[in-house]
Amino acid sequence: MAVHNEAKVGEIAKTVLMPGDPMRAKYIAENFLEEYKLVNSVRGMYAFTGKYKGKEITVMASGMGMPSIGIYSYELYKFYGVENIIRIGSCGGHVEELNVLDIVLVDKAYTEGNFARNMTGVESHLVDSSSKLNEAIENTAKEINQSYVKGNMACTECFDPYLDDPYLFINRLPKEDKIMGSEMESFALFYTAKHLGKNAACLLTVSDSLCKNEELTSEQRQNSMNDMIELALETTLKL
């Protein structure tokens, strides 16, 4: 039984889009879905189930950080029969190749943290996304002519701009993993999916660039994600 979700079994679709922000979940439902209804509001973590071009999907917020998305994704997979979760969020860029507003499809997520050891007792710091979902996203991007960058992300426990010296963290990252930037949820999502035999992917819009000293405003963060949202929604039609 889910502790943090009041939706009834059957009210959540097999495929879920998962932004961090509850208001972004509401925005997606209101602007992209038909016949949608609110199925969860526990702790303000909104979930809406509706139809996109006739396909039933759910959009549910995850909150911020690995513990939060770990809880919500686990419950979706374990108690509601969800098969696919696509996280849609923002990230910071660490490399020159990434520009603000670029869309990143995450291949692997790295963390210094102990999420995996907490969950399963296994020491793990690098985890793959679902090849099935990534292939569907890449095929969809080609069909709708949406550009993207595919690469690896660091999943952090602190918000980069609040670190005393972000480069102390960046310089510790394994060079062989070719990490392009950072966000705060993908490792927990990917690891939970892998542990439960489910599928997970992550699409991110670059909201700031450390090496270029550029960033979006709060308003731009809210309103500049439509290309990424549409790519995720169009992908759901293939699942």
Domains of the chain, by residue range, sit at 15-236
CA distances from 65 to 136, 182, 186 (A): 26, 12, 9
Write down the catalytic residue from 21, 164, 208, 227: 208
More confident residue, 214 or 66: 66
* 170 vs 224 pLDDT, higher one: 170
Q: Report pLDDT for 215.
A: 77
Higher pLDDT, 66 or 99: 66
Confidence of residue 221 (pLDDT cuts 50, 70, 90): low
- Least Cα distance to 86 among 199, 202, 185, 205 occurs for 202
pLDDT number for residue 32: 98
Mean pLDDT of the chain: 94
Architecture of the domain spanning 15-236 = 3-Layer(aba) Sandwich (3.40)
pTM above 0.85, yes or no: yes
- Tens digits of per-residue pLDDT, 20-60? 999 999 999 999 999 999 999 999 999 999 999 999 999 99
- SS3 readout for the chain: CCCCCCCCCCCCCCEEEECCCHHHHHHHHHHHCEEEEEEECHHHCCEEEEEECCEEEEEECCCCCHHHHHHHHHHHHHHHCCCEEEEEEEEEECCCCCCCCCEEEEEEEECCCCHHHHHHCCCCCEEECCHHHHHHHHHHHHHCCCCCEEEEEEECCCCHHHCCCHHHHHCCCCHHHCEEEEECCHHHHHHHHHHHCCEEEEEEEEEEECCCCEECCHHHHHHCCHHHHHHHHHHHCCC
Q: Is 102 a catalytic residue?
A: no
From the number of C-beta atoms within 10 Å of its C-beta (0-12, 13-18, 19+), residue 124 rates as middle
Average pLDDT over residues 130-145: 98
Instruction: Summarize the confidence of residues 110-135 as an average pLDDT.
Output: 97
Q: Are 190 and 133 within 8 A, CB to CB?
A: no
Res 218 pLDDT > 90: no
182 CB burial (10 A radius; 0-12, 13-18, 19+): buried
pLDDT at 222: 61
Q: What is the pLDDT of residue 209?
A: 84
